[in-house]
């Protein structure tokens, strides 16, 4: 896929008045949700739940630009035999796929994590592209805490992994969503969140540049700039909005 084609998909994903539906819950996550309502987390029940979403024709056609799928879901067929991915395409939305393998503890960085999933990613992307995926998602997790968290090691390692993932995606004709999420946990104030978010974004875009990723063919999924949940000083809605927009322009 050329840069122009990647850009066309990326622009369609962020069309005004539309959003991306995250239907990429892992089997463990969706089991917790089903347990809460007394439903068995079987493959058929998971399929039926997602099919219900994708067949909401008015909502899908008017308000959804893309759908992030889980590995199981991208391979499933609806009850009538129609591939679930075709239901998404028929609604006018773009199918995508979550490709990271979750987080693991980052060595020598207590309390910090690194997102894994680069091993074998090229081959998985080839398969997902063949199944109809037009974009992918990878989430990095950055926590603000005491004793120097986040560390340079954590920020740099996660930014580098995001850049490698993004380059692999574009090499296979898939638009990468890059998500360097600075968590809202902790007792930090909004100014600390602003500083960390700015640092993380600048590090990420330096890594994307070094990896020769074409920015016009990417989508950024940023976090809001907001005080931590345990912060004694709560930020107003107006301050959150102003500082989130400001950090994106920094």
Contact 171, 159 (CB under 8 A): no
Q: What are the structure tokens assigned to 42, written together?
A: 């079987």
Could you tell me which of 126, 137, 43, 124 has the C-alpha nearest to residue 94?
137
Could you tell me which of 45, 56, 71 has the C-alpha nearest to residue 21?
56
C-alpha span between 81 and 72 (Å, rounded):
15
Task: Sheet with 175-182: list strands edge to edge.
Answer: 19-23, 64-69, 94-98, 135-142, 175-182, 219-220
221 is catalytic: yes
Active-site residue, selected from the candidate residues 221, 230, 243, 249: 221
Q: What are the structure tokens assigned to 160, written together?
A: 């580098």
Which residues carry out catalysis? 221
């Amino acid at each position: 896929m050329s840069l122009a084609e990647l850009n066309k998909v990326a622009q369609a994903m962020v069309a005004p008045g539309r959003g991306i539906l995250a239907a990429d819950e892992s089997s463990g996550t969706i089991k917790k949700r089903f347990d809460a309502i007394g439903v068995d987390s079987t493959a058929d029940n998971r399929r039926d739940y997602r099919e219900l979403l994708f067949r909401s024709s008015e909502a899908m056609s008017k308000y959804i630009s893309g759908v992030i799928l889980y590995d199981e879901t991208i391979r499933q067929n609806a009850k009538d035999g129609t591939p679930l991915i075709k239901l998404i395409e028929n609604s006018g939305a773009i199918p995508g796929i979550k490709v990271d393998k979750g987080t693991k503890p980052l060595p020598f960085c207590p309390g910090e994590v690194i997102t894994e999933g680069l091993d074998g990613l090229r081959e998985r992307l080839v398969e997902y592209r063949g199944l109809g995926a037009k974009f992918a998602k990878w989430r990095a997790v950055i926590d603000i805490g005491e004793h120097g968290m986040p560390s340079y090691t954590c920020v740099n390692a996660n930014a580098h992994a995001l850049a490698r993932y993004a380059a692999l995606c574009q090499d296979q004709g898939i638009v990468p969503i890059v998500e360097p999420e600075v968590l809202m946990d902790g007792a930090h104030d909004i100014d600390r969140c602003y500083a960390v978010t700015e640092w993380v974004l600048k590090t990420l875009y330096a890594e994307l540049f070094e990896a020769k990723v074409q920015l016009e063919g990417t989508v950024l999924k940023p976090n809001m700039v907001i005080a931590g949940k345990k912060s004694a000083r709560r930020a107003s809605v107006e301050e959150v909005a102003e500082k989130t927009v400001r950090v994106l322009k920094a």
